[in-house]
Amino acid sequence: MRFLLDDEQRDFARSLDGMLTAADTPAAARAWAAGEHAPGLALRQRLGAAGVFALAAPEAYEGVGPLPVETAVAFVELGRHAVPGPLVETVATVALLSRLAELGTAEPAKRSLPALVGGGASASLTLPGTGPYALDADASAVLLAAGDGEIRLAPGHAEPRVSLDPARRLARLLPGGEVLAAGEAAADAAGRALDWAALATAAQCLGVGYALLDRTVAYVRGRTQFGVPVGSFQAVKHRLADVLVGLEFARPLVFGAAVSLRDGDRAAARVDLAAAKVATGEAAYGAARAALQLHGALGYTAEYDLSLWLLKARALRGAWGGVGWWRERVVTGG
């Protein structure tokens, strides 16, 4: 029993943090929202080189995984820096195709995983029960639709629509296309994809929440009213203390879920993943509400970077199944 990140995992987080801090991710997010994918794709390439997508893939497909704990570490940093793009979706697709290969259908993995793992291409997908839209389908080389007892390679997508978070673009996948799996194998692989999507989204939420908190703490320390920093007011302090409580108790759920997933305890992992998805969604959203309130009107402007995280917190809360859907899984045992 040692429920702490080890030095290597902490170094991994630090190196991603350093790289993303230097990369001006807010500018990439704004460009992505405007439909200019180049800076975001360049970031994806660097994340691929750093091994982020290899964490979900087995060695047979140029991966180093599956390593859910390290994946969670990475996605906390991706959330912290508001990195745009179908990152969760790519990881979920990697997990899905890897699982299909384990179950005997290796060809799709052989075909797609090298590019996805290396960061040269992205994937997006839809899974049963979690909503009809694929994220950033227009920037994805691989489009998977799971549902109706099968997993198919979608031939394309409808016109993307803009999300509440301008950096997220949502599209329905077109019907038809090559069927990769059906029946039990399809359900199993889609379930695996959902596990990884939930894990990565929960970790990303956590990072978004911490970014909102950190920025707000910095702001209220500097902003003065009535001759003192607003951060010295008890009403402000208590609101931020509650944000920290929410995030600090959501964090172990994310890593607990990752450990359960790593150790192959799927029953435990499914309840833990549901718990992590609920708790991080609520905590990040609470952080967003507090951040906006304590920044005042400044926080309500598009030009101030806070909006990148504010709206992402709301969008991620409902992505891959809303909090009610996941709470149902908690009470039914996953």
Among the candidate windows 86-94, 102-110, 123-131, 225-233, which touches another protein by CB under 8 A?
A: 225-233
DSSP 1: -
83: helix, strand or coil: coil
- In whole angstroms, the minimum distance from the beta carbon of 5 to another protein comes to 6
> E-strand spans in 117-217?
123-126, 133-135, 142-147, 150-153, 161-162, 169-172, 179-182
CB of 204 to another protein, least distance (A): 18
Residues contacting another protein: total by CB under 8 A: 50
Told to check if 211 binds another protein by CB under 8 A, we report no
Q: x/- contact string, 44-83, with another protein (CB under 8 A)?
A: -------------------------x--------------
Q: How far is CA 52 from CA 76, 83, 234, 322, 334, in A?
A: 12, 13, 41, 26, 27
Which residues from 269-288 bind another protein, rule CB under 8 A? 271-272, 274-275, 278-279
Task: Output the six-digit token pair for 54.
Answer: 């290899």
Asked if 8 interacts with another protein (CB under 8 A), we say no
d(CA 217, CA 249): 19
CB < 8 Å & 24+ apart, contacts of 240-246:
240/213, 240/216, 240/290, 240/294, 242/286, 242/290, 243/209, 243/212, 243/213, 243/216, 243/283, 243/286, 243/287, 243/290, 244/213, 246/209, 246/279, 246/282, 246/283, 246/286, 246/287
Q: Which amino acid is at 297?
A: A
Q: Which residue in 60, 132, 184, 249 binds another protein (CB under 8 A)?
A: 249
The distance of closest approach from Cβ of residue 90 to another protein in the complex, given in angstroms and rounded to an integer, is: 23
Q: How far is the CB of 2 from another protein (least distance, A)?
A: 5
157, 132, 162, 131: which is closest to 143 by C-alpha?
157
Residue 267 within binding range of another protein, rule CB under 8 A:
no
By the rule CB under 8 A, 159 interacts with another protein: no
Give 22 or 234: the residue with its C-beta nearer to another protein. Answer: 234
Q: Smallest gap, in angstroms, from Cβ of residue 230 to another protein?
A: 9
Establish if 223 lies at the interface with another protein (CB under 8 A).
Answer: no
Neighbouring CB atoms inside 10 A of 8's CB total 10
Shortest Å distance, C-beta 219 to another protein: 11
Residues in the chain: 334
Query: Cβ 268 to another protein, closest distance in Å?
Result: 9
- The residue ranges that bind another protein (CB under 8 A) are 1-6, 9, 69, 213, 217, 220-221, 228-229, 231-234, 236-238, 240-242, 244-245, 248-250, 252-253, 255-256, 258-260, 262-263, 271-272, 274-275, 278-279, 323-324, 327-328, 330-331
